[in-house]
Amino acid sequence: MSALQLTTFYADDLDDEIVSTGIPTSPKIVRVRPNEDFSLTILFKTGEVKRFDVAPYLNCSEFFRELADPVYFQKAFPDGGAVEWPHGQSFCSDTLYPYGIPVVDR
């Protein structure tokens, strides 16, 4: 399966027919590891591992400010196409994948 897939959705008004938007999406998230420096190490379904820096977002809005608590930040979990926290904060793979920095094994 290629890293880019067509986005689909079920439309109730189309009798649950699958409709394609034609927009490629980023791969699903398999695992996430929150790091002490407020970055995330993410394993994507493609097998790629990327690191995404959340620090710039910590003070950009009240909604994300809670992520600045190191204990709360560690509660991140993968939810298919996103990394989420218990109170609803999230970053989708369409942000994490293209802006994440590839992690290279040494």
**pLDDT computed for residue 62 by the predictor:** 93
**pLDDT computed for residue 4 by the predictor:** 34
**pLDDT computed for residue 12 by the predictor:** 39
DSSP assignment string, 45-85:
TTS-EEEEE-GGGTTS-HHHHGGGSHHHHTT-EE-SSEEE-
**pLDDT computed for residue 24 by the predictor:** 62
C-alpha to C-alpha distance for 85 and 82, rounded to whole angstroms: 10
The angle formed by the CA atoms of residues 89, 90 and 95, to the nearest 5 degrees, is 145
List the chain domain ranges. Answer: 27-102
**pLDDT computed for residue 103 by the predictor:** 95
Four-way CATH pick for 27-102: 3.30.2020.10, 3.40.190.10, 3.40.50.300, 3.30.43.10: 3.30.2020.10
Q: What is the pLDDT of residues 40-88, one digit of tens each?
A: 999 999 999 999 999 999 998 999 999 999 999 999 999 988 999 999 9
Token reading at 14: 């189309």
pTM as predicted: 0.76
Helix (H) or strand (E) holding 17: strand 17-25
Q: What is the pLDDT of residues 16-35, one digit of tens each?
A: 344 445 566 789 999 999 99
